[in-house]
Structure 1
C-alpha cells in the first residue's frame, strides 16, 4: 500500500495589505511557534505600522468572526472531524491563511 503525501505549494504572501495595520489571527496551543510564522511577512512601504494580533484557542469556533475580518490567519491543523468546518471558516474570515502542524 502506497502512502500519499499531500502536495504543499509555497507561494509568496502578498505584499499589499488591505489595512495599514494588518489584522492577524493566530490559533493554536503553542503561541511562540505561531508567531514565528510572521517572520519575514512583508512590511508595508511608506511608514510604520503594527500587526494587530488576536489569539484563539484550538477548540474555539471560527464561526464567530466576520467575513474578511483578518488579513492573515495561521491556525493549528484540526482533527479530521473538524477540518471541513475550520477550512470553510478560514477561507471566509481571512484573505490569506496557513494551516500548520505546530
Structure 2
C-alpha cells in the first residue's frame, strides 16, 4: 500500500550561522508516514542537512512548546474539534508547518 504524498513544496529555511541543524517536530501516531513527508525536504547549498527531530503523538503537548521553537512542524490531520487549536499552536511554535492527511 502506498502512502499518498502531500501536494506541497516546502521552501528552504533561510541560511543562518546559528541554524546549523533545523529542529523539526513530527506530531502524530504514525511516525513512518510523518518521516516520509520530509523526503526531498530542501537542502542548503546543494548539501544534505542533518536535522533534529522530535516526535509527539498527543496534540495536547503542543501547548507546552515555546514560541518559535521549531523550524518545521509536520502534523497529521487533527480531529475537527481540535483543528483550530492545533493550527494556532502550529503557527506559534514553528516557522513552517505542514498538515498531512492520515
The TM-score range, normalised by the shorter chain, is 0.7 to 0.9
SS at match of 1:10: coil
Structure 1 residue 90 corresponds to structure 2 residue 102: no
Structure 1 residue 42 corresponds to structure 2 residue 39: no
Aligned to 1:3: none
Worse-matched range after superposition: 55-64 or 21-30: 55-64
Residues 10-56 of structure 1 show CA distances to partners (whole Å, capped at 9, x for unaligned) of 34423425511000000111101100111111122387641100000
SS at match of 1:96: strand
Please give the TM-score of this superposition, normalised by the length of structure 2.
0.80
Aligned to 2:26: 26
Please give the TM-score of this superposition, normalised by the length of structure 1.
0.80
Aligned to 2:70: 70
Compare CA radii of gyration and give the structure with the larger one: 1
Contact 1:22 1:70 in 2 (8 A): yes
Residues 66 and 59 (structure 1), Cα distance of their counterparts in 2 relative to 1, 3 Å cut? closer
Residues 48 and 35 (structure 1), Cα distance of their counterparts in 2 relative to 1, 3 Å cut? closer
Equivalent residue pairs, number: 95
Structure 1: gaps of 5 or more residues: 1-7
Give distance in 2, aligned partners of 1:40 and 1:47. 12
Aligned to 2:14: 16
